Chains A and B, each alone.
Chain A
Amino acid sequence: MTKISDIFGKELTVVNVGLTSMAESVADQDVKTVHLDWVPPKEGIRRLRVTKSGVNIDEANQQVVDRIKKALPVLVGMGIARDVIPGMHDRMILHAGPPIEWERMCGPTRGAVMGALIYEGLAKDSAEAEKLAASGGIEYAPCHHHHTVGPMAGIVSPSMPVFIFENKTFGNYAYCTQNEGLGKVLRYGGMGDEVYARLKWMETDLYPTLDRALQSLPDGIDIKSLIAQAMHMGDESHNRNRAGTSLFLRAIAPAMARTCDDRERLAKVIEFIDKNDHFFLNLSMPAGKAALEPAEGIEGSSIVTVMARNGTDFGIRLSGMPDRWFTAPAGEVEGLYFPGFTVKDANPDIGDSTVTETAGYGGFAMAAAPAITQFVGGSPQMAIDSTLEMYEITFDEHPGFTIPVLNFRGTPLGIDVRLVMETGILPKINTGIAHKEPGVGMVGAGILRAPEKCFRDAYDAIAELC
Chain B
Amino acid sequence: MTVKTIIKISEYHDSVSLMLVARELSGLAGVQDAAVVMATEANKSILAEAGLLTDAAKAATANDLVIAVKANREQDAEEALGMVESLFAKKAAEDETADFRPKSIRGAVSSYPSANVAVISVAGRYATDEAWEALTRGLHVLLFSDNVSLEDEIALKRYARDHGLLLMGPGAGTAILNNVALGFANVIPAGNVGIVSAAGTGLQEVSTLVAKNGLGITQGIGTGGRDLKKEVGGIMMLEGLKALQEDTATEVIALVSKPPAPEVVDLILEQVKKSKKPTIVCFMGGDMSKVAEVETAIPARTLQEGGLFAAQAAGAQVGDIKQRIADETEQLKKQASELRKSLKPGQKYLRGLFSGGTLCYEAQVIWREMMDMPVYSNAPLPGEPSLEDSTKSQEHTTVDLGEEEFTVGRPHPMIDNDLRIRRLLQEASDPEVAVIILDVVIGYGAHPDPAAELEAAIVDGRKIAENDGRTIHFVASVTGTEQDPQGLKHTIATLERAGVIVCESNAAAARLTAMIVAR
**For B46, what are the chain A residues with a Cβ–Cβ distance below 8 Å?**
183, 338-340
Q: Is A197 an interface residue (CB 8 A)?
A: no
Question: A13-B114, A339-B50, A372-B16 known; A381 and B98 CB under 8 Å?
Answer: yes
Q: Is A138 an interface residue (CB 8 A)?
A: no
**For A380, what are the chain B residues with a Cβ–Cβ distance below 8 Å?**
95
Q: Is A229 an interface residue (CB 8 A)?
A: no
Interface string of B37-49 (1 = CB under 8 A from A): 1000010011101
Min CB–CB distance B491 → chain A (angstroms): 17
Q: At the interface with chain A, which of B126-134, B258-266, B300-308, B495-503?
A: B126-134
Q: Is B101 an interface residue (CB 8 A)?
A: yes
Min CB–CB distance B265 → chain A (angstroms): 22
Q: Is A261 an interface residue (CB 8 A)?
A: no
Interface size counted on chain A using CB atoms at 8 A: 69
Min CB–CB distance A346 → chain B (angstroms): 14
Residue from A4, A21, A36, A385 within 8 A of B105 (CB atoms) = A36
Q: Is A452 an interface residue (CB 8 A)?
A: no
Instruction: Give Cα A128 to B204, complex, Å.
Output: 85
Instruction: Give Cα A388 to B103, complex, Å.
Output: 10
Residue from B51, B115, B163, B218 within 8 A of A15 (CB atoms) = B115
Residue from A1, A29, A40, A445 within 8 A of B126 (CB atoms) = A40
Q: Which of A178-192 contact B (CB under 8 A)?
A: 181-183
Contact A37–B218 (Cβ < 8 Å): no
**For B246, what are the chain A residues with a Cβ–Cβ distance below 8 Å?**
3, 5
Q: Is B487 an interface residue (CB 8 A)?
A: no
Contact B118–A17 (Cβ < 8 Å): yes
**For B103, what are the chain A residues with a Cβ–Cβ distance below 8 Å?**
36-39, 389, 392, 423, 425
Contact B110–A5 (Cβ < 8 Å): no
Contact B178–A34 (Cβ < 8 Å): no
Question: A182-B42, A336-B23 known; A37 and B121 CB under 8 Å?
Answer: no
Question: A385-B100, A391-B111 known; A4 and B239 CB under 8 Å?
Answer: yes
**For B240, what are the chain A residues with a Cβ–Cβ distance below 8 Å?**
4
Q: Which of A305-347 contact B (CB under 8 A)?
A: 336-340
**For A336, what are the chain B residues with a Cβ–Cβ distance below 8 Å?**
16, 19-20, 22-23
Contact B163–A2 (Cβ < 8 Å): yes
Contact B123–A374 (Cβ < 8 Å): no
Min CB–CB distance B244 → chain A (angstroms): 8
Contact B120–A18 (Cβ < 8 Å): yes
Q: In terms of DSSP, what is the predominant structure of the interface of chain A?
A: mixed
Q: Is B309 an interface residue (CB 8 A)?
A: no
Contact B178–A8 (Cβ < 8 Å): yes
**For A373, what are the chain B residues with a Cβ–Cβ distance below 8 Å?**
16
Residue from B19, B165, B177 within 8 A of A12 (CB atoms) = B177
Contact B102–A392 (Cβ < 8 Å): yes
Q: Is A28 an interface residue (CB 8 A)?
A: yes
Min CB–CB distance A208 → chain B (angstroms): 25
Of B34, B104, B244, most buried by chain A (CB within 10 Å of CB) is: B104
Residue from A23, A183, A385 within 8 A of B42 (CB atoms) = A183
Instruction: Give Cα A61 to B247, complex, Å.
Output: 39
Contact A19–B121 (Cβ < 8 Å): yes
Q: At the interface with chain A, which of B138-146, B339-347, B365-373, B470-478?
A: B138-146
Residue of B nearest to A239 (CB): B16
Min CB–CB distance B132 → chain A (angstroms): 7
Q: Is B116 an interface residue (CB 8 A)?
A: yes
Instruction: Give Cα A162 to B52, complex, Å.
Output: 37
**For B444, what are the chain A residues with a Cβ–Cβ distance below 8 Å?**
25-26, 28-29
Instruction: Give Cα A171 to B145, complex, Å.
Output: 52
Q: Is A11 an interface residue (CB 8 A)?
A: yes
Q: Is A465 an interface residue (CB 8 A)?
A: no
Q: Is A405 an interface residue (CB 8 A)?
A: no
**For A29, what are the chain B residues with a Cβ–Cβ distance below 8 Å?**
180-181, 187, 444
Residue from A18, A372, A422, A445 within 8 A of B104 (CB atoms) = A422
Contact A26–B182 (Cβ < 8 Å): yes
Min CB–CB distance B113 → chain A (angstroms): 9
**For B166, what are the chain A residues with a Cβ–Cβ distance below 8 Å?**
4, 7
Instruction: Give Cα A441 to B183, complex, Å.
Output: 59
Min CB–CB distance A395 → chain B (angstroms): 10
**For A7, what are the chain B residues with a Cβ–Cβ distance below 8 Å?**
116-117, 140, 166, 177-178
Contact A379–B97 (Cβ < 8 Å): yes
Q: Is B96 an interface residue (CB 8 A)?
A: yes
List residues of chain A with CB under 8 Å of any chain B CB: 1-19, 21-23, 25-26, 28-29, 31-32, 34-41, 46-47, 181-183, 336-340, 371-375, 378-382, 384-385, 388-389, 391-392, 397, 419, 422-423, 425, 444-445
A-B contact pairs, 26 of them (CB 8 A): A3-B246, A8-B177, A13-B116, A14-B117, A17-B118, A22-B119, A22-B445, A25-B183, A26-B119, A26-B180, A28-B444, A28-B485, A36-B103, A36-B105, A37-B101, A38-B103, A337-B19, A338-B19, A338-B35, A339-B50, A371-B16, A378-B94, A388-B107, A392-B107, A419-B104, A422-B104
Which 3 pairs, one residue from A and one from B, show the smallest C-beta to C-beta distance?
A18-B121, A339-B35, A340-B50
Known pairs A10-B116, A13-B117, A25-B181 / 7 extra A-B pairs, C-beta < 8 Å: A4-B165, A17-B120, A17-B134, A25-B445, A32-B114, A183-B45, A336-B22
